[in-house]
Structure 1
Amino acid sequence: MLYLQSIVIVRPGATVDDYGNEKDDWGAGATRTAVDGVNVQPAGGSDEDTDDRQLVVTSWRLYTPRGMDLDLRETDRVEAWDTTMQVVGKVARWPSPGGGVHHIEADLREVD
């Protein structure tokens, strides 16, 4: 019952700016991969920063079921429930005692 959610992994393409620097392309150059059967849960609530502007940062945690590995990188974004979240840090790939990946966990951050 836990792994009923669907997400989209968004990986940036690369583009070159006016000065010849390579930068991430989150528009037409990005690739989108739909993934079913994962679990995304709140993790630690939200933080608010009101110094310069109203900003709310919400933390989430992504889990996969046993035996499921994802091509998810720390440079990717994850879309779910009409929101976009950034992957925070390295993706944890927990090893299975028999070899391979038991499951993965990833910290996500939604910034509004």
Structure 2
Amino acid sequence: MIWDQSVVRVRAGPPPDRAGNTIKDWTTATRTTITRLSVQPVLQTERQETDRTSVVTGWRVLSEPGTAPDVRADDRIEYDGLLCEVQGEVGRWPHPVLGGTHHVEWQMRRSTG
């Protein structure tokens, strides 16, 4: 089944600082499970240097047609035990006949090293 995967959206708490600016507070982040997804690998790179090895892995995430999960570019995503960053803006595809959102897509990436 293609829409049988899930991720956990991690959204930072937005407490304002003393100047009234909104700052990201990951210590008070909320976690929300998002289901009915297809998570597809799209990027795997490894670069070896003399003192370290860097690894970058990326995925494309699509929601099941008829769903519109709440994901933003500044969220983090937990997937398969890994913490990933949302890359770029989240795409909300319009329904061609009914209007509204047909499905949502985003890219996520994890870098180490």
- TM category (shorter chain) comes to 0.7 to 0.9
Greater shift, 8-17 or 82-91, is seen at 8-17
Task: State the superposition RMSD in angstroms.
Answer: 2.5
| SS class of match (2:73) | coil
Query: Residue 62 of structure 1 aligns with which residue?
Result: 61
What is the TM-score of this pair, normalised by structure 2? 0.84
Given that 1:46 and 1:56 are in contact with CA atoms closer than 8 Å, whether structure 2 keeps it comes out as: yes
Q: How many residues align?
A: 111
Who is 2:105 aligned against?
A: 105
The correspondence of residues 33-52 of structure 1 with structure 2, limited to 5 A, is 33-48=32-47, 50=49
Following TM superposition, the consecutive aligned residue runs of length 4 or more in structure 1 with deviations greater than 4 angstroms are none
Q: Partner amino acid for 1:30?
A: A
Deviation at 1:23, TM superposition (A): 3.2
Q: TM-score, normalized by length of structure 1?
A: 0.85
In structure 1, how many angstroms separate the alpha carbons of the residues matched to 2:50 and 2:78? Answer: 28
- List gaps (5 residues or longer) in structure 1: none
Aligned-pair distance for 1:59?
1.1
- The question of whether the paired residues in 2 share the 8 Å contact of 1:46 and 1:59 is answered with no
State, as a whole percentage, how many aligned pairs show the same letter.
41
- The equivalent residue for 1:81 is 80
